[in-house]
Chains A and B, each alone.
Chain A
Amino acid sequence: MSPLNDGKKVKVDVKGNNDSPIGNEIVYDTNDLNLWYGQTHALKDINLSIHEKEVTAIIGPSGCGKSTYIKTLNRMVELVPSVRTTGTITYKGKNILDKSFKVEDLRTHVGMVFQKPNPFPKSIYDNITYGPKIHGIRNKKVLDEIVEKSLRGASIWDEVKDRLNENAYGLSGGQQQRLCIARCLAIEPNVILMDEPTSALDPKSTLRIEELMQELKKEYSIIIVTHNMQQAARISDKTAFFLNGEVVEFNDTNKLFTTPEDKRTEDYISGRFG
């Protein structure tokens, strides 16, 4: 396979693996994306296609631009002043970097789970209904159903069903993170972006989230940034390796971890740096 970072518009289709079924549609298509924070060139000529109903992992050492990239996918990166981008990211055929594209619309279809569990200082129930209420749902019965469905979807329903009106801060870290996933499911997104969702959690809670992701990918497309290569190998269908703001290699996870094509990928996954 040709390297993805040769600066040309090379569209690489990574299909034909048993674990990643052929024919999944592309949700996100990134073309020649460049991003600057002020003078710092943080993302360089990124070309990536992300497919539906798969887990795509993004790995790489600190400062390689992986978090920046995932935050560009829902334009959260714009919260940082002095961010500038060129190139396109099409989501279902529309360029989301176009200024006329409403971020509020985009973020309704693309949910995000953050590094640190960040429930609102409200009750468990109100945490889940926050999103639906934003989008205009007021009917109590509908909201009740959304709460149960979302909490079940994030496999936390049984633990919290008897204390929906208690403050979310009473939950453990792992439970809080699953609550945040449930909160994200409540807006019924197509894509879930996860920015190192388990880095603040203990191994047991991490395992539960990983199991949950395998369930979720049946219905959602998941893009996860992770520091943990074993995690990427365990849970993802495709993996992109970022280094110094470039995509070094993007391939089926099996191939990338067993037969990496780029020397730098090999060095990284075998623990020689990073």
Chain B
Amino acid sequence: MKYIDDVQVQKRMSSRVTKNNVLKNLFLAATLFGLVVLAILLIRVISQGAAWIDWNFLTGRLSTNADRAGIMGAILGTSWLMLIVIPVTIFIGVGTAIYLELYAKKGKFQSFVATNISNLAGVPSIVYGLLGLTIFVRAMDFGNAIIAGGLTLSLLVLPIVIVAAQEAIRAVPQHLSEASYGMGATKWQTVKGIILPAAIPGILTGSILALSRAIGETAPLTVLGIPALLIPFPGNIFDTFTALPMQIYYWTLDSSLVQEYAYLAAATIIVLLVLLFLLNSIAIIIRNKFQQRY
């Protein structure tokens, strides 16, 4: 006797095919929803802000007069922040990853630390703002200076960099490091000569993505009390500053008073988006350039 009856199979055929098609369209709709909302956002921002972007806007100082306002101060502030965040996170992040993956004895301590670093990556950014306020602004008395903001943002993205670097290091095939150890290389020589060169694309990609997160963060800076007032350009890391997302935040806040501020905010968003887009492109270029097969 046959268990699978052709007549029954034919009967069910059309409902099976229909179900498949319905679900396919449902998933397509889910994909489109995100894309459409993003597109509307982009179109709105560009249509409102693009006209306001000119040389004066990019290089000028801040002004309450919308026609004269520029965002050079915010651009400089964001650049200064990056000058702190990049070296601090790469040095501490990669160092931590190397220690956890290669030096630390696999055991309770190692897995406890590793798990908690992953947990830290999920802590809301405003909590890091409070931490930064307590430690850097008050206890260490930096005030709301670049160094306080930079260190706070570094703490915020450090877990992301550590996890990315750990994964990149883990992806280096074991047989390569074995070959190196087998010739009498120390751990550090193996790290320097074999593991880091192979892991650099992954580490850099992760770091740059973390960096773009740091650039866009607003909440922790708000908590630190970073102003967006008419302030002089920052000259060193102990100066007060403002940053692009803060500028956007305050202009949006005041747009109920002055209509033009909304357009300025949109223009600043475009600048910020271009900056993020550039950073992500660099990440992709680096990944493609250094990628090697084993």
Contact = CB atoms under 8 A, between A and B. Distances in A.
Interface of A: 74, 76, 79, 81, 103-108, 111-112, 114, 116, 118-121, 130-131, 133-135, 169, 180, 183-184, 187
A107 B293 contact: no
B178 A131 contact: no
Contacts, number: 67
Given A121-B292, A130-B193, A134-B193, A104 B178 contact: no
Going nearest first, the 4 A-B pairs with the smallest beta carbon separation are A107-B184, A108-B184, A112-B182, A118-B175
Interface in B142-164: none
Nearest to B198: A121
B178 A76 contact: yes
A103 B190 CA distance: 14
A118 B176 contact: yes
B181 to A, nearest CB: 7
Interface string B158-186: 00000000000000010110111111111
Contacts of B184: 103-108, 131, 134-135, 187
A206 B198 CA distance: 30
B106 A107 contact: no
Contacts of A187: 183-184
A187 B180 CA distance: 12
A104 B182 contact: no
Contacts of A131: 183-185
A83 to B, nearest CB: 12
Given A79-B178, A114-B178, A120-B194, A134 B105 contact: no
Given A130-B193, A184-B182, 9 more contacts: A79-B181, A111-B182, A114-B182, A120-B194, A121-B198, A121-B292, A133-B193, A187-B183, A187-B184
A230 to B, nearest CB: 26
Given A118-B175, A120-B194, A130-B193, A104 B105 contact: no
B291 to A, nearest CB: 10
B178 to A, nearest CB: 7
Determine the interface band of chain B, counting residues with CB < 8 A from chain A: 20 to 34
A116 B186 CA distance: 22
30 contacts: A76-B181, A76-B182, A79-B181, A81-B105, A104-B185, A105-B184, A106-B184, A108-B184, A114-B178, A114-B182, A116-B175, A118-B176, A118-B178, A118-B179, A120-B179, A121-B176, A121-B198, A121-B294, A130-B180, A130-B183, A131-B185, A133-B193, A134-B180, A134-B184, A169-B294, A183-B179, A184-B182, A184-B183, A187-B183, A187-B184
B64 interface: no
B189 interface: yes
Contacts of A107: 181-184
A111 B182 CA distance: 6
Contacts of B106: 81
A131 B198 CA distance: 18
Nearest to A112: B182
Contact of B179 (A108, A169, A180): A180
Interface string B191-212: 0011000100000000000000
**Which of A81, A134, A169, A184 has the most chain B CB atoms closer than 10 A to its own CB?**
A134
A108 B180 CA distance: 11
Contact of A134 (B175, B178, B183): B183
Contact of B176 (A76, A81, A112, A120): A120
A169 B183 contact: no
Nearest to A180: B179
Contact of A104 (B186, B292, B293): B186
Given A81-B106, A120-B176, A111 B183 contact: yes
Nearest to B172: A121
A121 B183 CA distance: 16
A93 to B, nearest CB: 19
Contacts of A134: 180, 183-185, 189, 193
A6 B211 CA distance: 64
A131 to B, nearest CB: 4
Nearest to B187: A104
Contacts of B181: 76, 79, 103, 107
Contacts of A116: 175
Contacts of B176: 118, 120-121
A225 B293 CA distance: 28
Contacts of A76: 178, 181-182
Interface string B93-109: 00000000000011000
Given A81-B105, A104-B184, A121-B294, A114 B189 contact: no
Contacts of A111: 182-183
A74 B180 CA distance: 13
Nearest to B186: A104
A114 B186 contact: no
A121 B200 CA distance: 13
B78 to A, nearest CB: 37
A133 B175 CA distance: 20
Contacts of B294: 121, 169
Contact of A74 (B179, B182, B293): B182
A131 B185 CA distance: 8
